[in-house]
Chains A and B, each alone.
Chain A
Amino acid sequence: MNGYGGSILRVDLSSGKINKTPTPHDLAKEYIGGRGFGAFLLFTEVPKFADPLGPENKLILSTGPLSGLMIPGAGKMDFTTKSPLTNGYASSSLGGMLTAELKYAGIDSVIFEGISPNPVYLLIEDDRIQLLDATEYWGHGTISVEKSIKDKYGEDYQVAVIGPGGENLVPFASINHDYGRQAGRGGVGAVMGSKKLKAIVVHGTKAIPVADPEGYRKAGLDLFKACKQAEGLVPWQQYGTTIVTSWCNEVGALPTRNFTSGYFTEGKELYGPVMREKIVVTDKGCFGCPSPCGKYSRTKKYQSNVEGPEYETIGLLGSNLGISDIEDVAEANRLCDDLGIDTISTGGVIGWAMECYQKGILTSADTDGLVLNFGNTVTVFELIRRIANKQGFGNLLSQGVKKASGIIGNGSEKFAVHVKGMEQSAYATHNATAMLLAYMTCDVGAHHNRSWAITYDLQVGRDLVVPEKVARIIWLQNFRPMFDVLGSCRLQWVELSIERDLYIPALEAITGVSRTWEDLERVGEKIWNLTRLFWIRENPEFSREWDLPSPRFYTDPPPDGPTAGQITKYEDVQKLLDMYYEQRGWDSNGIPKPETLKRMKLDEFALST
């Protein structure tokens, strides 16, 4: 099948059985690849009410038809599972080199099921695939394990690995790769840890079949030329995602002290140019990237190396914790990477604990004697270690902000900043209604990457609540995640503003299948509805309450900065949801209507919910 590795690998960790089957044509036709494959396989293969950390849950890795080919940013892999953090759908994207190597081994998806009796790692060398003993690596950090594996097999072998966070089943544990890339969100690393799978090691040497090699060469070249000629290339490459740090502070969107504000007075010390000057050593890109946004950094203060920090990490482990030294943020980033926990959720839950401490809801008697003042870097480092190891007070925080606040109570639930149990990423949304709705309705919880709309808020009026704004969010949710379906990075389109139509001839030349963006958006809409059905199936109490944001954004106006005194009114929150459901074809509880599912040929899945 053109554009595909051609097979799906199934690894039963309980029995040690490994088998490969051809990638079904119908699956490729209907769901294309990547996140689409993941959503379909999750829904159809994981039994209803499966324990996310039990043998019935599956961890599904998927590449897309562009992955591993000479298309800008074609280095994206999707990890899908049932989330131990949210009990719903989890899909986390990973850049780097792994996806290309997997395609070269002739594999489109890997499905891990069962639980191994002992720690193992999977070694894929084209058709030679083995489960090997990982006892020597168990208990060690991601960075040293990746290095040991590369020392053993060579630099051409690509490695995805979990750290102690995943081994200890921290529900926001990450899967790491390439010494600093994270599939961070939703606890995919905990699912990997529950299966006693320490690492996935891949080396492939096969060619990917392409329908029209000359057309592919030309379309690929057109895409690369467009990237290299893009007006935004220089600043983007220089700063990567940190280009928005200063801007977020200027517009009151930089999460500060557990999102009590969107403005950090000391924020200047975290801005992209300061970071570039103080700690960045060089740029780093993923497979096939003409515009590398990754940064390798070295801290003088800690004498350590880290990839990053990128914007989300600066927001959550920096300003959100009252930390204003970029070297401290970089070191916190390195600790999270090595221990294998999500930087966003970690910063979210520590920020919540600091506010509890500030309000007297928690005292040092609860925190093992740790002083949880905002800005206390030493405490932050210690908490990161204790969360990953589920040690003492860290055990409470390791459950995530929703569960931890449910245990502590005393009103702390009101400033637990999450949606559906996932800690909110780095945009303060007191007065940015489109971005707020994007978080409320994101299919994995409060994550930004499906629908990034805060610029749109500023363009059209940040407190405006109108159907056009809702339509914009839905369009972005259908369209942006299609890059995760195709197996390529969206940032060339997003940040360099290259024409999205340039991808169409490339996709056709590679797969031999002619598609338009309208077709692709229909697939995106179908996947969106399928993942919604998964939430409903797994959580019988699911209703519109699940789509509400943290009360922080409709009850607590920021005391300072550009959004001082501003919140989104609760009635506007409800109005946004009403308009969203109506435009999606869902009922007033956010359940897709039968006619909506029929239109998308999802009726059969509705029956099983």
Chain B
Amino acid sequence: MQTAELRPKGMLKQYVDGRGCVEVPSGIPLREALSVCGIPPDLVAIAFMDQKPKNKDEIIQPGDRIELHAVIGGG
């Protein structure tokens, strides 16, 4: 199966045993991929690919490298 990479940042790493990079299957929405690897989608403030925001409902493509940033503290 072709895969993509999720790269959790900051507090999100705690949900993947501190790893900075997690492989996930492609062809599914990002929201689903987050759940698959144990990251609560509600804690992801913004997902980035090539420094552009990626919607959690978008389908992950093979080879995607997606940075995940947490909601930390608001204003």
Contacts and interface: CB of A to CB of B under 8 A. Distances in A.
Contact of A232 (B10, B51, B75): B10
B72 A497 contact: yes
Contact of B10 (A251, A454, A497): A497
Contacts of B11: 497
Band of interface residues on A: 20 to 34
Contact of B45 (A243, A273, A427, A493): A243
Interface string A130-168: 000000000000000000000000000000000000000
B17 interface: no
A312 B75 CA distance: 8
A454 B74 contact: yes
Interface string A481-506: 00000000011011101000000000
Residue of A231, A246, A494 most packed against chain B (CB within 10 A): A231
A448 B43 CA distance: 18
Interface in B9-56: 9-11, 40, 42-46, 48, 51, 53, 56
Residue of B9, B10, B46 most packed against chain A (CB within 10 A): B46
B48 A247 contact: no
Nearest to A452: B74
Contact of A243 (B10, B43, B46): B46
Contacts of B69: 231-232, 235, 243
A304 interface: no
A358 B29 CA distance: 39
Nearest to B13: A231
A251 B70 CA distance: 13
Given A246-B46, A247-B46, A458-B43, A449 B75 contact: yes
A18 to B, nearest CB: 36
Contacts of B74: 241, 244, 311, 427, 448, 452, 454-455, 494
A494 B73 contact: yes
B45 A244 contact: yes
Contacts of A455: 43, 70-74
A227 B36 CA distance: 31
Contacts of B43: 455, 458-459
Given A232-B69, A235-B69, A251-B42, A311 B48 contact: no
Contacts of A251: 42
B9 A458 contact: no
A250 B34 CA distance: 15
A247 B71 contact: yes
A234 interface: yes
Contacts of A239: 46
A241 B74 CA distance: 7
A452 B75 contact: yes
A232 B40 CA distance: 18
Given A273-B53, A493-B73, 20 more contacts: A231-B9, A235-B45, A241-B75, A243-B45, A243-B71, A247-B46, A250-B56, A310-B75, A311-B75, A448-B74, A448-B75, A454-B74, A455-B71, A455-B74, A458-B40, A458-B43, A491-B75, A494-B73, A494-B74, A497-B10
20 contacts: A231-B69, A232-B70, A234-B48, A235-B45, A235-B46, A235-B48, A238-B51, A243-B69, A247-B71, A448-B75, A449-B75, A452-B74, A452-B75, A454-B71, A454-B74, A491-B73, A494-B72, A494-B73, A494-B74, A495-B72
Interface of B: 9-11, 40, 42-46, 48, 51, 53, 56, 69-75
Interface of A: 231-232, 234-235, 238-239, 241, 243-244, 246-247, 250-251, 272-273, 310-312, 427, 448-449, 452, 454-455, 458-459, 490-491, 493-495, 497
6 residue pairs, one from A and one from B, having the closest CB atoms: A494-B73, A231-B9, A452-B74, A247-B45, A273-B53, A241-B75
